[in-house]
Amino acid sequence: QVQLVESGGGLVQAGGSLRLSCVASGRTFSSYAMGWFRQAPGKEREFVAAISWSGTSTYYADSVKGRFTISRENAKNTLYLQMNSLKPEDTAVYYCARRTGPYYSGPYYPGDEYDYWGQGTQVTVSS
């Protein structure tokens, strides 16, 4: 069983930055691609970014490209999402998730299957 725990959310003004972290339990973190998703009130969950198991390839939704950076430290079982130039429309609960299939390096699609999810961390961007 894999547990994912996100942290780092909070309230920030538009134009500000936040860094989210996601710590995974177990010994398999380094073998799997990971992703970040978000869900705003009244909206469906949407894909934000994905990263390969090795960290060498990444993929972003158009809405965050150039502003967000996904990264990982396999030695620490930790996934990150650096969010810069935040906008009010970035307000959502952010979730990390593990993509199915070990050692997958891409390509990535928003509809890919993810089998483990964290509980989420709230990000609120004020205007």
How does DSSP assign 86-122, residue by residue? --GGG-EEEEEEEEEEET------TT--EEEE---EE
Summarize pLDDT for 39-53 with one digit per residue, the tens: 999 999 999 999 999
- What is the Cα–Cα distance from 72 to 20, expressed in whole angstroms? 11
Contact present, 118 and 97 (Cβ < 8 Å): yes
pLDDT of residue 110: 83
The pLDDT of residue 119 is 97
Give the chain's end-to-end CA distance (angstroms, integer).
40
pLDDT beneath 50, residues of the chain: none
The pLDDT value given to residue 20 = 98
Take residue 59 and report the two structure tokens written for it. Answer: 């993929």
Whole-number pLDDT of residue 104: 84
pLDDT at 1: 86
Both tokens of 85, joined, read 């130039």
The pLDDT value given to residue 95: 98
Helix ranges restricted to H, 1-127: none
